[in-house]
Amino acid sequence: MSDKIKIYKNCLLDLDETLLDFHASEKIGLEKVLRAKGLSFSEEIYAAFKVYNKSLWKELEKGTICREELFTKRFAYIFGECEGDSSDLDPLAVNHEFINTMSQNGVLLDGALEFVKRIKEEIKDLKIYVITNGATVNARGRIASTGLDRFLDDVFISEDMGVTKPSIEYFDMVLDKIKQPKESCIVIGDSLTSDMLGAKNASMVSIWFKPEGDIESAVKEYGIDYTADSYDEIINALKEWDKKHSF
Ligand SMILES: [Mg+2]
């Protein structure tokens, strides 16, 4: 007699801008670290950091710099924007402190905790997994610091796995770990190019959170099943999906 595996409704939830506010944590981390070093901090300094950081990430994607160069360069640059003496500071060491500080200061999007609580309570046999591209310490730390971890069944971080959304390998690895069929999974996220494309690549049902731009053509192109502007709308979509599928 073979053991029958219980099938759940599996929510694969993106992290940043779906449950947590990445930029709010980044700003807190930067301010705390710069001030601790006796340097100034302002909205202008944070804006300059974001612009320069973005250009460095593009360089990294092109392969013209490595991660360590990115981490060093962004702080060497930002020291030059701050008032105060930074002559003795090591940009790479300060970057390390910044990542740690940021990871201890997760910021929930409004209503996010209530949302995960509600879907567990209102939909029977539902599991919640986080699927996120990013650094392990940063994602795990921010999740734990907000109390979100109490409601999650597991967290899948690209740095741990060695593969990233939207690749089919990433989603196959998640299915392998949760031992559930793809038909039982629904992907929820704000990004077209990682979450919605990932769901399409993996042939999973999808909910596009906070859709923007040319919604109609994006829905067609990525084969999106539901769109939702709020957590209430995600819950409604989940209930509709739940009604249509019994496993
Ligand atoms: Mg996101």
Q: Which domains does the chain have, with CATH numbers?
A: 9-20+109-244 (3.40.50.1000), 23-103 (1.10.150.240)
Cα(12)–Cα(157) distance, integer angstroms = 12
Query: Of 75, 102, 103, which Cα lies nearest the Cα of 89?
Result: 75
Task: State the distance from the centre of ligand 1 to the C-alpha of 39, rounded, in angstroms.
Answer: 31
Task: State the distance from the centre of ligand 1 to the C-alpha of 76, rounded, in angstroms.
Answer: 28
Residue-level pLDDT at 38: 97
Phi-psi region of 32 (alpha: psi -120 to 50; beta: other; left: phi over 0): alpha
Task: State the distance from the centre of ligand 1 to the C-alpha of 157, rounded, in angstroms.
Answer: 13
Task: State the distance from the centre of ligand 1 to the C-alpha of 4, rounded, in angstroms.
Answer: 35
Cα(177)–Cα(199) distance, integer angstroms = 17
Query: Of 9, 3, 32, 210, which Cα lies nearest the Cα of 109?
Result: 210
Residue-level pLDDT at 223: 98
| pLDDT reading at 4 higher than 70 | yes
CB atoms within 10 A of CB 53: 17
| pLDDT reading at 2 higher than 60 | no
Q: What tens digit of pLDDT does each residue of 43-94 get? A: 999 999 999 999 998 998 888 999 899 999 999 999 999 999 999 999 999 9
Q: What is the mean pLDDT of the chain?
A: 95
Question: What is the pTM (predicted TM-score) of this model?
Answer: 0.91
